[in-house]
Amino acid sequence: MMIPRLSHERGLAEHGWLTSRHSFSFAEYYDPRFMGFSALRVINEDWIAPSMGFGMHPHKDMEILTYVLNGAVAHKDSMGNSETVPAGEFQLMSAGTGVRHSEFNPSDTDELHLYQIWIMPNQMGVTPRYEQARFADKMGATLILSPSGDDGSFVVYQDMKLWRHQLDGEQVVVLDETRAYWLQVAKGSVQIDGKTYQAGDALAIVDESQFKAVSQSFAEFLLFDLPRV
């Protein structure tokens, strides 16, 4: 079963300096049909105006992943980190026992475009931590998150994996029918089992053993492998 979550159907927040699309209920956007998916609690696609951003604010007991699509993020936190995360890099922060952080667009001219993703952890009260990395481009699947840091991926405190798929042509992706999957198109246009999805579109996938992804030009999607709940 594949359940589409199309880009234009997501929640929309307009704050002047920030435009945000919410896959799941978040802040003032509420939809009881979309409160999260398995361990995923937030998938926000944000466009942040030059020289603007989120001031210092707290989090606790959440795995927070940021993927920068265009522009760069200027990050500061209460752990003492002060970093720039450029386009193409991922940033992972375990909030654990509590952390404060800020995320700003340091450019005076260019918009910042990113995904912010919150994953509910299966371990509470961990020591807060911060990581960022660029994973080499390659056609096919690259492991970004895993519980044990396989293949150079970030360690995540949850029984899940995140794969970034890059394609220019056709891929057959094998699934485990005992698991649940969330597919988020990040770049380009992808046909999934013959239906076309654009950047921002998503699919919840359950009870499937595989799917075929086809693109006519470069495309990229994130595939979350999650526990069934």
Torsion angle, alpha carbons of 223, 123, 103, 85, to 10: -50
- Alpha carbon distance 225, 223 (integer Å): 6
End-to-end CA distance of the chain: 15
- The label of the residue with tokens 């260019």 reads 110
Strand partners, 133: 90
- Structurally, how many domains does the chain consist of? 1
Residue 151 burial (C-beta neighbours within 10 Å; 0-12, 13-18, 19+): exposed
Q: Which two tokens stand for residue 89?
A: 């890099």
Cα dist. 124→61, 62, 161 in Å? 6, 8, 19
Structural domain span for residue 26: 2-227
What is the per-residue pLDDT for 16?
94
- Alpha carbon distance 152, 144 (integer Å): 8
* HSE (side-chain half, CA atoms, 13 Å) at 155: 9
Residue 193, domain CATH: 2.60.120.10
Per the CB < 8 A criterion, the answer to whether 110 and 71 are in contact is yes
What is the per-residue pLDDT for 70?
98
How far is Cα of residue 227 from the mean position of the Cα atoms in its chain?
17
What is the per-residue pLDDT for 229?
84
Cα dist. 125→76, 122, 228, 229 in Å? 21, 10, 24, 23
- Alpha carbon distance 162, 141 (integer Å): 10
What is the per-residue pLDDT for 78?
96
Q: What is the pLDDT along the chain (229 residues), one digit of tens a residue?
A: 999 999 999 999 999 999 999 999 999 999 999 999 999 999 999 999 999 999 999 999 999 999 999 999 999 999 999 999 999 999 999 999 999 999 999 999 999 999 999 999 999 999 999 999 999 999 999 999 999 999 999 999 999 999 999 999 999 999 999 999 999 999 999 999 989 999 999 999 999 999 999 999 999 999 999 999 8
Per the CB < 8 A criterion, the answer to whether 131 and 91 are in contact is yes
